[in-house]
Structure 1
């Protein structure tokens, strides 16, 4: 009997092959839409940085703190809230999260000073904390593993696409009707979408379409221990490599509007539109790099392809961004920065697929939550804040020139993880057998 047969057989698929194919993609579309809302609410702030700086006389470090506090709360709360979702119900948890971040974004619209806005952004972070990990666990659970890197990259790219919409729409609203309407519009979109999600998606339907259901032991209360997510060296390398590789994309998401405002002398709305195009490149790269990674892995006899692809994407982005920000402002610089942005978060799909593969199914959302913690603490929170602090001393351009060097540490972690992957798979197989007994 195979390990898969030992752990548990998949239930018979629902009747109607058309429905079988359609419903998973509907779930993906709605989960992706909520991730758009998540990042629209998070990144709309970047579009109004120039307006807030002028209106409230804020320093770059204060502006960075408004951005980083969200990622910091995501980093602190993702693991406990992902664990709650694994036990309380993933769909129910996603609904509560979306309601919280949407209402908190509405509070941003009525903030009267820096400290009130900081408190509202804190609540946005609380609501968004575990959405990425729980949402992707829901999506990957109803699709075959052969497309996990592509889906992981596409799902996580929702962050970049949401940032595009948030920055572009937010910048336009800020200039024409005031920055408060930028936040109000994002809040309204989130509340509308979560109502649709709640009406369509349920735990029962997800169980019917699950590709790898929880084992009988897990459903009876026998789960893999939480500590299994932190005793696998290969998994730890995945977390660290993924988090460090997100440092530079986070910098680009937060600071490109200000970069174009200061060095290309564009108005806030014009800078937001140009920056949105570069953010779109980041999101597109996540999707396409995920597809490339899946195909590259299927062409090899082992699973090293995901690691190798992740390293390659980091190297290309490091070279292009370092050269682009090192040149004087102009077309050549923009082309190189655009190429670097395309590959900047390309390792997201491969690392998500690796984390899912090396995590036991009963704690998979929590495992992906650990990945989200690393992405937020080492990347999305640390990147914008560090660059803001450095920019106060060296100027924004000087800080942007240094940011891509963090890829060197990410590359080292991914290369180490590639060596440790076979031992990680063996460890997981033994864990699956022990929890099935």
Structure 2
């Protein structure tokens, strides 16, 4: 066996620093989502000022997602090899500057270009952040940490949707982008002082050392082999083998694509849908279009994280089954949002859908990390983002096309049916996750002292 490369000396931090990392990532992720969501809140204003139709608005919505998706595997591969701190904070500086530039746009190609560039900046965040957070949190706390971080997605979505629409209605749509972009750049500069990188696999190493210490207190018991996590970056082919040889990963990828197809439709079209079908004012549409869904998700996601950690301790596929539960329960509410004509029922259905969405979102990356070893986790997150957002990017464009060319003469009726069709997509995703959690995960899961991580001394 070839000797391991020595780890770089690690900065000594306190036992609670792992939760400080979650808090710092929460703030960064808030702007990650506020910056991307603000554009959707001002679609009605862009339609009025520039005359964009539904297909053109769908193209603006999808431009970010396509670049974000197809850049993610490269971002993940890079994040498995270089400082994740620099990728996270450098990316925040870049995408925040692009957000400021969005306020300078005046033509369709301007909007498509800046949205694509924003995708370039943001594509580095999740692979790097999820990998680094996974090295601070082992399996006992990983779902809780990831679910707390996930709540920032909803806070950013609400903040971007509401404030973007509020500025559009009171001061002009451009000012929201100036505010979010400047604040994001300031945050990145401040956090350069406080955020520290960590050795890959450190959480698993600490967990194995704890288990060994417990065994040492019982000398009559056989002593386990010492776990030594391989920190050597895998080659491209090794990365592909580590990730893609496991059927569970393929099923999780399919489930993420299905869930994100529906999620991106709601992210992109809900404010427009509320204005056109239910005649909300722009600010109310921006707020209601995000707060009912995403506040409900923010409330449910911590509970889903706690539940997932408990289920995972009892069943290898526990995290995936929590996700599947969210999709199964969400099927009815997705259909109701699209088909109801009653405002009260609409808002109730949106809130219930949001709670179900939180159950799925709480374990997107925690589930895949159960079956992928630490040195390839950023690449796994990048692949998840590519498939999830690449497939998800088809959602906004599909709804735009259905709205313009659907079977009804009324575009709003066409949009209603297109949104309701998301319930079928949710059903497909639920089936894939159930298969992953009940059939394949037992053979694919990375054990606490995995075969490829053991060195017997």
Verify same fold: TM over 0.5.
yes
Listed as ranges, the matches of 1:15-414 within 5 Å are 19-21=14-16, 23-203=17-197, 206-207=198-199, 210-212=202-204, 218-219=230-231, 225-227=238-240, 228-278=242-292, 279-298=294-313, 300=314, 302-379=315-392, 381-394=393-406, 395-414=414-433
- Deviation per CA, 1:387-422: give whole Å up to 9, x if none: 222122343222211122101211121122121111
- Answer yes or no: is the 8 Å Cα contact 2:326–2:359 preserved in 1: yes
Q: Deviations over 1:327-375 (max 9, x none)?
A: 3223123212321122124212233212111111111111122122222
Q: Tell me if structure 2 keeps the 8 A contact 1:14–1:209.
A: no
Higher relative helix content: 1
- 2:444 is aligned to 424
Quote the residue 1:3 is aligned against. Answer: none
Q: Distance in 2 between matches of 1:242 and 1:177?
A: 38
* 8 Å Cα contact 1:40-1:163 kept in structure 2: yes
TM-score (norm 2): 0.85
- Which whole-Å CA distance do the structure 2 matches of 1:42 and 1:15 have between them? 35
Name the CA shift for 1:353/1:208 in 2 (closer, same or farther; >3 Å): closer
For residue 123 of structure 1, report the CA deviation from its aligned partner: 0.4
CA distance in structure 1 between the aligned counterparts of 2:150 and 2:97, rounded to whole angstroms: 23
Unaligned segments of structure 1, at least 5 residues:
1-5
Q: CA deviation at 1:140?
A: 2.0
Are the equivalent residues in 1 in contact too, given 2:338–2:416 (CA < 8 A)?
yes
Question: Residue 278 of structure 2 contacts residue 343 of structure 2 at CA under 8 Å; is this kept in 1?
Answer: no
| Residues in 2 aligned to 1:87 and 1:436: alpha-carbon distance in whole angstroms | 27
- CA contact 2:327–2:430 (8 Å) conserved in 1: yes
Q: Give the Cα separation in 1 of the matches to 2:316 and 2:379.
A: 22
Distance across 1 between alignment mates of 2:356 and 2:344: 19
Aligned 8 A contact 1:321 1:341 in 2: no
Q: Following the alignment from structure 1 to structure 2, what is the Cα–Cα distance between the partners of residues 156 and 412?
A: 23
Aligned residues: CA RMSD: 3.0
Once residues 332 and 7 of structure 2 are traced to their aligned partners in structure 1, the CA distance between those partners, rounded to angstroms, is 45
Unaligned runs of 5+ in 2: 207-226, 407-413
Aligned 8 A contact 1:286 1:345 in 2: yes
The change in CA–CA distance for 1:208 and 1:81 in structure 2 (over 3 A counts) is closer
Q: Kindly indicate whether the alpha-carbon contact (under 8 Å) linking 2:271 and 2:285 is maintained by their aligned counterparts in 1.
A: yes
- The alignment covers a number of residue pairs equal to 424
SS in 1 for 2:81: helix
- Give the TM-score normalised by the residue count of structure 1: 0.89
Instruction: Say which is worse superposed, 142-151 or 72-81, in terms of deviation.
Output: 142-151
> What is the distance in 1 between the residues matched to 2:251 and 2:328?
17
CA-CA distance at 1:288 after TM superposition: 3.0
Q: Secondary structure at the match of 2:384?
A: helix
SS of aligned partner of 2:204: coil
